[in-house]
Structure 1
């Protein structure tokens, strides 16, 4: 229990990037540019997939859902972060903080399990190509998306009820959004049990989907290596390259952020790590899936009229 006289607080104030005060204008311009690119890129991807019938497949259905989720994910965090960089940040109520944390956790976990569903889709496409449309029918795809969303909602409710049951006696959050660890640091109660619960949940929602993706790719690579022709192997690897790139960066950032000891990094280091998965990672989908994916590039050219519709 933290000692001293405390008055229960009803709102929080973000300290944001106070340690980088002299660079705030530069950070604002950089983050605003990346934010617009993220929004534009994800909207373009969703639009192309919905318009072009060549992309009406399970793989691109999952990609459109992931792009939509990433768009909402950035809307929850980035606008308030940008306003704080130019001095327009306002205090956030406990209810507002809980709401932001709820959507952040829900969407972050949803994205993790959507990537797992996409890994399973690639496994079926390469390892069971003749049964692909049977195993990955519309009902199965919808169930996988609903399952990913349900897990996110359930975990978020558990986390929110655990964190906001604590009494808070400090109001300055050493972060730019309501993440779990920075908020728990404001409590005047012993948070040891809550820290353990948070670590266990974080481990499960990162390690389990990451493990499932790893198993999928072990089976995929095993199957690809059995393909006789070099051209066939190259084509099979190409269908997985974009997804695998996003998976490695996504789970890598999440592992660094939530599976490291809480005292290992300084506040500034924690913020810089958080920037990678709240600002840079959401930009991965439009960048990777447009620059490295021939089908999406061809569909984009068809949509803008530079290629004839087949």
Structure 2
């Protein structure tokens, strides 16, 4: 931190932050390093493989896999925005991060997290169209509509990230200890000594729009999907539909449940070690699970994988 004089008063300008993480438990830091490293490598490998398979296989050029490709691309950058820094921090007793890097990491992660919320809702609509209107699916989910939905998701996430950025507090009065693994927005705001009531109100409204409404939409959508599946006479057809949609719902519940517990909460509630662990589910666990649950267990993706492997071996 650096002291600067402004007029007749002394003010403290924060130039770096201390990320507590689990530094109070040094014996657990190496364990966390291994866990984070496994999560990160699995996320990069699984999502990168899925992107390659979707691009290389014409059979996977469908709306569902188009959105999955968007999601995998997002998850690679989402974890990369924070996990490498967390891995490095495991080797320090009191890891620090500069103000600029903290702000950059925070808003990049926020942008990608919001985009994932919207993409998961769009993917639920895609499954609704596939299960409830199979005969008109290709007409409903045209490539034009798919592109518009993807662009809208990314653009809306960008706009909703700008709002808290414009209301970001500037006075910290020397408070620079972040009780988290990363620069999380809610924890960051707790350090401010300036009036943040407006920022808190806007963030709460944003959280409702980004978390509660899409999650409610997904639950209603899957309720309709469940009714449609029960009307399928073929046991094999019901099993396939339940498997595909059930996998999506599991990931959605983990992601939204952990994010809602962090952002739809009173401002004055302190963040505990439990909250830090919960944040790992939407920051590290779900990006790793997405390719496993959505597609790598899917017959079409497995076929694309073995075809790609066979082609590579024959070259």
TM-score by length of 2: 0.89
Aligned pairs (5 A) from 1:1-310: 6-87=11-92, 91-163=96-168, 165-169=169-173, 170-264=175-269, 266-290=271-295, 292-305=297-310
Q: Which stretches in structure 2 are left out of the alignment for 5+ residues?
A: 1-9
Q: Which stretches in structure 1 are left out of the alignment for 5+ residues?
A: none
Shift of 1:110: 0.4
Cα distance per residue 1:129-168 (max 9 Å; x no partner): 12211211111111111111111111111011212x4312
Farther-moved stretch of structure 1 (270-279 vs 76-85): 270-279
Shift of 1:76: 0.4
Shift of 1:265: 5.7
TM-score by length of 1: 0.90
Instruction: Check conservation: 2:171, 2:194, Cα contact below 8 A.
Output: yes
Counterpart Cα distance in 1 of 2:285 and 2:246: 19
Kindly report the root-mean-square deviation, in angstroms, between the aligned alpha carbons of the 2 structures: 2.2
Shift of 1:27: 1.0
CA 1:273–1:263 in 2, change beyond 3 Å: closer, same or farther?
farther
Farther-moved stretch of structure 1 (74-83 vs 192-201): 192-201
Shift of 1:261: 3.3
SS of equivalent to 1:12: strand
Farther-moved stretch of structure 1 (28-37 vs 290-299): 290-299
Counterpart Cα distance in 1 of 2:239 and 2:43: 30
Instruction: Check conservation: 2:29, 2:91, Cα contact below 8 A.
Output: yes
SS of equivalent to 2:17: strand
CA 1:232–1:105 in 2, change beyond 3 Å: closer, same or farther?
same
Instruction: Check conservation: 2:21, 2:180, Cα contact below 8 A.
Output: yes
SS of equivalent to 1:45: helix
